[in-house]
Chain A
């Protein structure tokens, strides 16, 4: 029994030391916060896709305008939930809101503010970067119909490299993700069977493959699994030094997910839907889209029309749409076209306290 008592004493001793330390840290951070009085603070949450760019914005905007931006990359779905529940000042989502979600949000607007591409990454030992692939092949891989890398359809378009006799492991996001929405929207346009059997969405019923949580999970599984294939935003593939495909566009060319390919793809849709949607997935054949990378997407910022923080929010989003875009190319974010900026400014006018 004595052993019990001393253990308990030690336990509580440990706890109290922890408590003291925690309160000291808390006191310190409070005093730091008070010392640096900023003009205000904006809270955001949502998609992981624009997170690398938003991270740069946070520093630059705070330095320039003295407004602190916090952003929590919890995923598109989480961003939609957060703005619906008014726990943040702005949300972010790669997939445009569904009518259901608009109703639930009750007084929200969305506007595109970031433009980039989804890369298809692979792990084939010895293979060069930027092997070629088509949407139809990708769909058949994820449908479980093409199972081996030496499939004649893959070999035929990659003449310079002998595809290995190795099983393909398709990897997908198990959590709800805007990147999945972008990718499945593309497969929808590339394969009729995909469209009827699976369809598009932030989560879908994958016929084959294994799931992984988050972009980090997907790239983790790919980098550790020989023969794996999966998707994530291109900044992620570059950061993790993973190889990714050149994907065939409808003009018949194989395009890489770079700034040129994204810029060309953005031409595909200039007509906003009433809810500010733009769909630039798999642009039509044609000279204008010769260089287009077919799996590009806008990512959206979600705002409440009636917002307490409107006075801070409007300048920030305007800045992000204009000056902020200049930080994009370094992270493979193509600056949004002028008409998107104009549309954004028009939409912002409706936002008020």
Chain B
């Protein structure tokens, strides 16, 4: 995705050949329409969302971002805890998922025997096909109790001096559970992208490094990583986008609490999860509007991560053109 190719595009592409080709014209129009549609759709969605959020925006203004409350009986709403929860869970999952995914991709492209590749590769991708509801249910029934009985006590015992690993909880519904679920969702995305990236590294370069006496790890560090660096960054951002937007599985395991806790073992909530949890049955117009306001924040979040992604990719790609 980072490799820019010199191509003549636009109408010039089929005019240049001297003879008018209807197939090319049709292709051009169809693809153009598709591209325009996505832009139009995004614009319409943004407009609609902004219009629906307006009553809440009007009433709470920017203070909505820093207010920590969600109380329909007192008509007081704020996004602070949900912004906190979204940032913590999605970046927490990114920190866990990135090394795992890169390791999987490296194993599959550089280290594993062929037959293992053909078994493990599709299995990892299959992980992406597990419906999120099922993943959430698994989170409640298996992962939650496991966190309570094993993971949390172990982490608190070993790393308890860090405030994020507070005292072990009595119940598995927590930000930590959400982070693990999101990690499971991110791994197939990031690892399959990384695998394609690593496969794309020219074998001459790899062979060259090995021929110069590099070990396999030195070859990976010196050739594969630099070559794929921009792509890895992009893959991470894609995974992050997935995590920020995930609603259902997170609602099931995060414990939907408006409190802001430093310990990851305490419940919390995210923007998307709050919207999914309450939009359908919102009682008052203001509550609906506040939920849509959350959606606006989510939209801005995604936009910002995407822009950052593009900047990162461009910069890294510029520095490491091989």
Question: A residues within 8 Å of B by Cβ?
Answer: 3, 74-78, 80-81, 98, 100-101, 166-167, 169, 171-172, 174-177, 198-206, 209-213, 217, 220-221, 224-228
| Cross-chain contact A198 with B140 (CB below 8 angstroms) | no
| Cross-chain contact B283 with A201 (CB below 8 angstroms) | yes
Shortest Cβ distance from residue A238 to the other chain B in the assembled complex, whole angstroms: 20
| Cross-chain contact B281 with A203 (CB below 8 angstroms) | yes
Shortest Cβ distance from residue B86 to the other chain A in the assembled complex, whole angstroms: 16
Q: A75-B281, A210-B256 are in contact. Are A225 and B148 (CB under 8 A)?
A: yes
Q: A211-B257, A213-B252 are in contact. Are A202 and B73 (CB under 8 A)?
A: no
Q: List 14 A-B contacts (CB under 8 A).
A: A3-B199, A77-B282, A100-B283, A101-B283, A169-B170, A174-B251, A201-B72, A201-B283, A204-B72, A205-B74, A212-B255, A213-B256, A224-B140, A225-B148
| Cross-chain contact A80 with B140 (CB below 8 angstroms) | no
A80–B257 Cα gap in the complex (Å)?
Answer: 25
Taking a contact as CB atoms closer than 8 A, the residue among B140, B248, B277, B283 that contacts A221 in the complex is B140
Q: Which residues of B contact A166 (CB under 8 A)?
A: 170
Q: Across the two chains, which residue of chain A brings its CB closest to B251? A: A213
Q: Is B111 an interface residue (CB 8 A)?
A: no
Q: Is B173 an interface residue (CB 8 A)?
A: yes
Shortest Cβ distance from residue A123 to the other chain B in the assembled complex, whole angstroms: 10
Taking a contact as CB atoms closer than 8 A, the residue among B69, B137, B256, B280 that contacts A174 in the complex is B256
Interface size class of B (residues with CB under 8 A): 35 or more
List CB contacts (< 8 Å) of B139-159 with chain A. Answer: 140-141, 144-145, 148
A62–B257 Cα gap in the complex (Å)?
Answer: 43
Q: Is B171 an interface residue (CB 8 A)?
A: yes
Closest 7 CB pairs of A and B: A77-B281, A176-B281, A211-B256, A174-B256, A199-B73, A210-B255, A205-B71
Taking a contact as CB atoms closer than 8 A, the residue among B170, B256, B281 that contacts A167 in the complex is B170
A101–B141 Cα gap in the complex (Å)?
Answer: 36
Q: Is B262 an interface residue (CB 8 A)?
A: no
| Cross-chain contact B70 with A205 (CB below 8 angstroms) | yes
Given contacts A175-B281, A211-B257, A212-B255, 19 further A-B contacts (CB under 8 A): A75-B281, A76-B281, A77-B281, A100-B284, A169-B171, A171-B171, A174-B251, A175-B280, A176-B283, A199-B74, A201-B73, A205-B70, A206-B257, A210-B171, A210-B174, A217-B252, A221-B171, A224-B141, A227-B170
| Cross-chain contact B278 with A203 (CB below 8 angstroms) | yes
Shortest Cβ distance from residue A205 to the other chain B in the assembled complex, whole angstroms: 4
Q: A175-B251, A204-B73, A228-B171 are in contact. Are A98 and B283 (CB under 8 A)?
A: yes
A-B CB contacts (within 8 Å), total count = 121
Taking a contact as CB atoms closer than 8 A, the residue among B71, B252, B282 that contacts A212 in the complex is B252
List CB contacts (< 8 Å) of B232-272 with chain A. Answer: 248, 251-252, 254-258, 267, 269
| Cross-chain contact A80 with B281 (CB below 8 angstroms) | yes
Taking a contact as CB atoms closer than 8 A, the residue among B71, B199, B257, B284 that contacts A98 in the complex is B284
Contact with A along B275-294 (1 / 0, CB 8 A): 00110111111000000000
Q: Which residues of A contact B282 (CB under 8 A)?
A: 77, 176, 203
Q: Is the interface of B mostly helix, strand, loop or mixed?
A: loop
A201–B283 Cα gap in the complex (Å)?
Answer: 8
Q: Is B92 an interface residue (CB 8 A)?
A: no
Q: Which residues of B contact A172 (CB under 8 A)?
A: 256
Q: Across the two chains, which residue of chain A brings its CB closest to B267? A: A210
Shortest Cβ distance from residue B294 to the other chain A in the assembled complex, whole angstroms: 14
A187–B203 Cα gap in the complex (Å)?
Answer: 69
Q: Which residues of A contact B85 (CB under 8 A)?
A: none
Shortest Cβ distance from residue B250 to the other chain A in the assembled complex, whole angstroms: 10
A206–B278 Cα gap in the complex (Å)?
Answer: 14
Taking a contact as CB atoms closer than 8 A, the residue among B172, B199, B254, B269 that contacts A224 in the complex is B172
A266–B282 Cα gap in the complex (Å)?
Answer: 28
| Cross-chain contact B137 with A220 (CB below 8 angstroms) | yes
A51–B132 Cα gap in the complex (Å)?
Answer: 24
Q: Which residues of B contact A204 (CB under 8 A)?
A: 71-73
A226–B72 Cα gap in the complex (Å)?
Answer: 31
Shortest Cβ distance from residue A343 to the other chain B in the assembled complex, whole angstroms: 25
Shortest Cβ distance from residue A97 to the other chain B in the assembled complex, whole angstroms: 10
A35–B3 Cα gap in the complex (Å)?
Answer: 57
Q: Which residues of B contact A80 (CB under 8 A)?
A: 281
| Cross-chain contact B172 with A81 (CB below 8 angstroms) | no
Contact with A along B48-71 (1 / 0, CB 8 A): 000000000000000000000111
